[in-house]
């Protein structure tokens, strides 16, 4: 029988080369930054009804048209693996009537998303996002805080070579005006458009601006600007947002061609793009915007303004510098005993347990080979200190403590060794 492999575009993370540790640090950084901005984590299921994403992401988006993993469960329900986090979070907020209790909700999330795309560097079929959203606040200040949260998080990861691109898509009136302007502009050139874009000309002409197809690029470049279609209130909101961002010291570039792939955006949209070149074609780290119509789209009786962003963890880790991880403080307990001397082996296990209970990372080579092989394993694991326990030590209530860096060795009471190492482990944190 052949060996089995993971599904293409769905990756394992292994601890040995420090990958899992990098992920855990990023997740901890994200949670820390979010909590300083007053965002609390929501966790929703990996799988939802297909209808949620059809309504919440939009029928004419790439995600719904060609990227979703959908299936029927045994009860003949049509489900989808979540391709993004916002639709589920809004569904949860509505289902649990969260806004009946809180006027403004700040939620963050983190987890796996699934899209059946062609795998490439920075593009996977199971990928992971961190995201944050504010519900119940229509102000430009909320937009500014969300964008500031995103850039602060990037800074905490050491990602400095990036640009915030900002645009406004206006409200429904502006969108309708702009839609007409685009249809008028593109229709005479329909034959020059890619088939995807040509088919979107009537259904959703804005999405043509989001196309990455080379055939669409020359026409896109000369298309009318949405900013010319904005109404007075949209324009005031956009101006205020820019003032706030300047006050917060968040640099940005107004980018009128930025429309973003999802259908539900209104007013503010933004992206953060990596400019270091380390990501190749997949250089968008973050996408976000305001989606004031989504709550009603998903069944809310009252409209609820909302804004949020999502970032791909894999791309963040490709863009972030990789500082040498500090060597953790760890202790190895070595049993100086033959395999039949079980009281000594048991004492070694018990000593490791007591160290762990006192906050010390402690290992035992439970194969209990020779002293020499246990010492070698302790060294390979990067142990700072080795505690040797033989028959005499167990009888006297002592241990032999060896410092790996210097080779210095001393005998001391068992309780004292635990106390000393607990203090050192605390200091090394
Ligand atoms: P792209 O244009 O790269 O396909 P998108 O517009 O589809 O991105 P969003 O839906 O806005 O992406 O998702 C937000 C972020 O999630 C992206 O900026 C990116 O960092 C990440 N992301 C999206 N799709 C993938 C994927 N297939 N693999 C890895 N990361 C992804
Ligand atoms: Mg995409």
In tens, the pLDDT along 92-119 reads 999 999 999 999 999 999 999 999 999 9
pLDDT at res. 230: 94
Counting from 1 in the atom list of ligand 1, the atom nearest the Cα of 62 is: 7
Mutation pick for ligand 1 pocket among 291, 310, 316 (CB with most ligand atoms within 8 Å):
310
| φ, ψ (nearest 5 deg) of residue 419 | -60, -45
Ligand 1 interacting residues, C-beta cut-off 6 A: 84, 115, 117, 122-124, 127, 129, 261, 282, 284-287, 310-312, 314-315
The number of the ligand 1 atom at minimal distance from the alpha carbon of 285 is 20
Atom 30, ligand 1: which residue's CA is nearest? 312
Query: Which residue has the least CA distance to atom 5 on ligand 1?
Result: 261
Residue by residue, DSSP assigns 286-305 as EEEEE-TTHHHHTT-SS---
CA distances from 140 to 178, 335, 403 (A): 22, 65, 58
Sign of CA dihedral 312, 212, 84, 33: positive
Model confidence at 324, pLDDT cuts 50, 70, 90, reads: confident
Q: What is the C-alpha to C-alpha distance for residues 341 and 89, in angstroms, rounded to an integer?
A: 57
Supply the pLDDT for residue 264: 75
End-to-end CA distance of the chain: 47
Q: Has residue 167 got a pLDDT over 80?
A: yes
Taking the centre of ligand 2 as the mean of its atom positions, its distance from the CA of residue 199, in whole angstroms, is 18
Q: In whole angstroms, give the CA distance from residue 100 to residue 104.
A: 10
> Which of 163-167, 191-195, 246-250, 411-415 has the lowest average pLDDT?
191-195
What is the predicted pLDDT for the residue at 109? 98
Instruction: Identify the pLDDT of residue 45.
Output: 98
Task: Report the SS3 class of residue 133.
Answer: strand
pTM higher than 0.75? yes
Q: Which helix (H) or strand (E) holds 153?
A: helix 140-156
pLDDT at 259: 85
CA–centroid distance, 116 to ligand 2, in Å, is: 10
Number of Cβ within a 10 Å radius of residue 231: 14
Q: Give the least confident one: 174-178, 249-253, 270-274, 328-332.
A: 174-178
Query: How far apart are the CA of 327 and the centre of ligand 1, in A?
Result: 34
> Residue 191 is encoded by which pair of tokens?
């034959």
Mean pLDDT of 198-215: 87
- Which ligand gives the minimal distance to the CA of 258? 1
Best residue among 114, 121, 315, 317 to mutate for probing ligand 1, ranked by most atoms within 8 Å of CB: 315
Q: Which of 30, 129, 206, 262 to mutate to test the pocket of ligand 1 (most atoms within 8 A of CB)?
A: 129
**Is the predicted pLDDT of residue 59 greater than 70, yes or no?**
yes
The mean predicted confidence, pLDDT, of the chain is: 94
- Cα 293 → chain centroid: 25
- How many C-beta neighbours within 10 Å does residue 180 have? 12
Structure tokens at 232: 């007075």
User: pLDDT at position 194, please?
Assistant: 93
pLDDT at 353 over 90: yes
All residues at 6 or more sequence positions from 337 whose CB lies less than 8 Å from its CB, including other chains: 344, 345, 348, 368, 389, 390, 391
**Rounded mean pLDDT, 299-312:** 97
Indicate if the pLDDT at residue 404 is higher than 90: yes
DSSP reduced 3-state for 191: helix
Q: Specify whether the CB–CB gap between 398 and 368 falls below 8 A.
A: no
CA distance 30 to 416: 39
Report the C-alpha gap between 265 and 206 in whole angstroms: 11
Predicted pLDDT at 200:
86
pLDDT at residue 261, rounded to an integer: 65
Q: Give the mean model confidence (pLDDT) for residues 331-338.
A: 95
β partners of residue 274 = 162
* pLDDT (0 to 100) of residue 263: 67
Give me the long-range contacts of 227-233 (CB less than 8 A, separation at least 24): 227/167, 227/168, 227/254, 227/256, 228/181, 229/170, 229/174, 229/175, 229/177, 229/178, 229/181, 230/168, 230/170, 230/174, 231/170, 231/171, 231/173, 231/174, 233/171
pLDDT-wise least confident of 99-108, 111-120, 236-245, 324-333: 324-333
Ligand sitting nearest the alpha carbon of 87 = 1
Q: Given a cut of 90, is residue 61 above it in pLDDT?
A: no
To the nearest 10°, the Cα dihedral for 187, 190, 193, 194?
Answer: 120
Is pLDDT at 1 greater than 80 in this prediction?
no
- What pLDDT, on the 0 to 100 scale, is given for residue 265? 85
Which of 127, 288, 319 maximizes ligand 1 atoms within 8 Å of its Cβ, making it the mutation to test the pocket?
A: 127
């Amino acid at each position: 029988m052949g060996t089995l492999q993971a599904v293409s575009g769905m990756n394992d993370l292994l601890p040995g080369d420090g990958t899992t540790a990098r992920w855990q640090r990023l997740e901890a950084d994200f949670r820390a930054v979010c909590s300083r901005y007053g965002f609390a984590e929501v966790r929703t299921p990996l799988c939802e009804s297909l209808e949620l994403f059809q309504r919440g992401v939009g029928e004419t988006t790439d995600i719904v048209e060609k990227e979703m993993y959908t299936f029927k469960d045994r009860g003949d329900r049509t489900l989808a693996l979540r391709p993004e986090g916002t639709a589920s979070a809004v569904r949860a907020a509505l289902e649990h009537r969260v806004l009946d209790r809180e006027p403004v909700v700040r939620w963050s999330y983190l987890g796996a998303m699934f899209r059946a795309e062609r795998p490439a560097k920075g593009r996977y079929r199971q990928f992971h996002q961190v995201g944050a959203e504010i519900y119940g606040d229509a102000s430009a200040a909320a937009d500014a805080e969300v964008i500031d949260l995103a850039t602060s998080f990037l800074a905490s990861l050491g990602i400095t070579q990036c640009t915030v691109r900002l645009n406004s898509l206006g409200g429904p009136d502006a969108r309708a005006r702009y839609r007409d302007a685009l249809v008028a502009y593109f229709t005479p050139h329909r034959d020059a458009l890619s088939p995807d874009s040509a088919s979107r000309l009537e259904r959703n002409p804005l999405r043509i601006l989001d196309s990455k197809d080379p055939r669409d690029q020359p026409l896109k470049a000369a298309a009318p600007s949405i900013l010319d279609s904005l109404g007075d209130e949209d324009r005031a909101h956009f101006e205020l947002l820019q003032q706030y961002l300047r006050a917060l010291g968040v640099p940005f570039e107004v980018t009128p061609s930025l429309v973003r792939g999802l259908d539900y955006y209104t007013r503010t949209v933004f992206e953060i793009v990596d400019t270091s070149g380390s990501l190749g074609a997949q250089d968008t780290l973050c996408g976000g915007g305001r989606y004031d119509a989504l709550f009603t789209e998903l069944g809310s009786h009252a409209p609820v303004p909302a804004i949020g962003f999502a970032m791909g963890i894999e791309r963040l880790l490709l863009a972030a510098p990789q500082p040498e991880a500090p060597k953790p403080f760890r202790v190895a307990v070595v049993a100086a005993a033959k395999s039949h001397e079980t009281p000594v082996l048991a004492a070694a296990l018990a000593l490791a347990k007591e160290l762990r209970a006192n906050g010390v990372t402690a290992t035992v080579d439970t194969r209990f080979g020779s002293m020499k092989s246990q010492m070698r394993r302790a060294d390979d694991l990067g142990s700072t200190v080795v505690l040797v326990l033989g028959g005499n030590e167990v009888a006297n209530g002592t241990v032999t403590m060896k410092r790996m860096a210097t080779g210095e060795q001393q005998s001391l009471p068992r309780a004292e060794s635990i106390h000393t190492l607990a203090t050192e482990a605390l200091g090394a944190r």
